[in-house]
Structure 1
């Protein structure tokens, strides 16, 4: 198991100070910090390779192409699929849009959406088809009774949130996807919040699974869309251009095989280099270490909220099937944006306020905006305790001024 002190030393941003003193970064549900190895991999591509992929036979292009496909193969192995099923995208948002735009859907077709879904998982379908909502369960992103009732309406597509970026609750994705598949639906999984904690195996009922590298120590602007064989055959690429075709003449063109038919233009090659370094870093850290850190950090979060009656945790205080992402509302504070700014400017605590691109969830549960605290494997119990002590002071000052 990697020692926490050694692990923290790998992240240069943790050495930074701000006007308030040391920096405590607790906005990991938005994006994670990057270790030296990821930063070095990106700089190394530009400094020592720099060439385009799949475009030439010279040594630099071949070297870049080989590394690019090595990273694809590594991701495929972790997901339990062949490399042909792994498409590189700009991130989760682009991946889900690619599926929504490429499926042969009609305006009358029904798409089922989790009420806690990120806007990137909701909006590509809304306006394109009819939609219906899947209620969140007490300790999961989808209530299974509600889910079964929706399946009776024969949706063409079912979207699932693998882990909520509001509550930290996870879904029983394999079981739900299998049920949706049996009901004749395409299943699309937003795994963006889950992958920092564990990279899932893609089971037979899952047709599409999308995630982003920047949530799991990698760079921004690069992600993965894993497609089932049957979905590959059903999808029409939403963009065409260089890299997507084997042949073009005046009479027509011939698409390349998957995954290349879905990867138009020059890709984010440096991003894939960085993504590969992030995967290697997480592999060296070890799944057991990540799981142990998750459990410790989640326990610390829940303990802090239990001791503060002015806070309400969205999704409750249970720890079953939950990642360390916690959103709270503050009694008498409908908009905590000023509190988030005070935590940053006066205490060096970086967290997020707002609706976290999940406004239907807040509306469904009659909540206004929240304050989200999301630690990751390089955070400590002391970081969390410090953040909540700072929150106490800010809330106390605010109460006095009202």
Structure 2
């Protein structure tokens, strides 16, 4: 099966709104789920539904084994060891776990990037002295500024592999090498937007990152579960964010003994069904090879750029080149004071689902666009025809409002 024919695997796309099919262009926020993922979640509840790592009876051991197989599959996909994979609620919790667990001091320097999601900014700002790398007018990282900031001898370099507003794919390997050579900084990567794309998978056995965070729901999986990869040596130094059942070997009136990694970071009952769905999502993604993923992404990206640059009433955030970019288009409709009205009309009148706002990346959006934006983001189930349909619908709305 190819990317062109996978559309039928997604039940949501069979829905009709006022007699017309849905065009879903908000995958940077969350992806749709294929039937196989939905079935995996449903199967857990209908055939088991029990807790894991607690009981010695058959159903519990069966569920525990299935849960741990997902951990092993993720480790294999990343080139990691099983004990280096920590399940979290998502990218946000994973990044907070690292930021709060490193025992940083307020005057420690952390280098981040202006185009980062708030989840890769706010945790570091709370615990240390955050310095941001500039972004140029094309949405590219200012590498000269990055190297200049490395001279400050940062403890941590917090990178974003793919921006959720510009779609820019950062040179993670180059930036990691520079951080290690300059000051042996701890490199923490937000891979939430890149992991959904097989061609952007980071092999941690080849790229020397210390931590890597991502979410299942952006890569065809359920909400409520994500992953933190951490080098075993780094995880052993990390202080847990949560304490409670499941993360200790024993507790008495005088103290307690934490479990070995990764379980010491997984207190409480996890989202078992969602994790099993996560495993199925990974299986689904593996059927698409890197080249197929790259070509489809570039095709969609070119369509987004072409549609935006052909219209004088639109301003596109980021590069106008499809290379090293994901299919994300953040648009300013010139002269429009309330972009939410356009998004609502696209939905209600055309069945086109997209997002407005600052995209949890307010520093760069305000800096380069001066306010809220309209964002479209395409994924494996989208086509260039859908991108073109979006722009034609936008033309009609803008003409009706007298903005062009």
- TM bin (shorter chain): over 0.9
Q: Which residue is 1:190 aligned to? A: 190
Matches within 5 A, 1:105-124: 105-124=104-123
Distance change (3 Å), C-alpha of 1:177 and 1:335: farther
The runs of 5 or more residues in structure 2 that have no matched partner are: none
Q: 3-state DSSP class of the match of 1:226?
A: strand
Q: CA deviation at 1:42?
A: 0.1
Counterpart-to-counterpart distance in 1, 2:369 and 2:76: 42
Q: Which residue is 1:22 aligned to? A: 21
Q: Is the 8 A contact 1:240 1:264 kept in 2?
A: yes
Superposition TM-score, scaled by structure 1 size = 0.96
Matches within 5 A, 1:30-179: 30-137=29-136, 141-179=140-178
Q: CA deviation at 1:141?
A: 4.9
Counterpart-to-counterpart distance in 2, 1:309 and 1:257: 58
Counterpart-to-counterpart distance in 1, 2:350 and 2:143: 42
What do the CA deviations read for 1:32-56 (whole angstroms, capped 9, x no partner)? 0000000000000010011111111
Which stretch has the larger CA shift, 238-247 or 137-146?
137-146
Q: 3-state DSSP class of the match of 2:295?
A: helix
Q: 3-state DSSP class of the match of 1:52?
A: coil
Matches within 5 A, 1:305-316: 305-316=308-319
Distance change (3 Å), C-alpha of 1:170 and 1:86: same
Distance change (3 Å), C-alpha of 1:392 and 1:366: closer
Which stretch has the larger CA shift, 69-78 or 174-183?
174-183
User: Is 1:337–2:340 an aligned residue pair?
Assistant: yes
Q: Which residue is 2:282 aligned to? A: 279
Q: 3-state DSSP class of the match of 1:74?
A: helix
Q: CA deviation at 1:99?
A: 0.6
Counterpart-to-counterpart distance in 2, 1:148 and 1:287: 31
Counterpart-to-counterpart distance in 2, 1:3 and 1:102: 40
Q: Which residue is 2:305 aligned to? A: 302
Q: CA deviation at 1:330?
A: 1.4
Q: 3-state DSSP class of the match of 1:254?
A: strand
Q: CA deviation at 1:363?
A: 2.7
Q: 3-state DSSP class of the match of 1:195?
A: coil
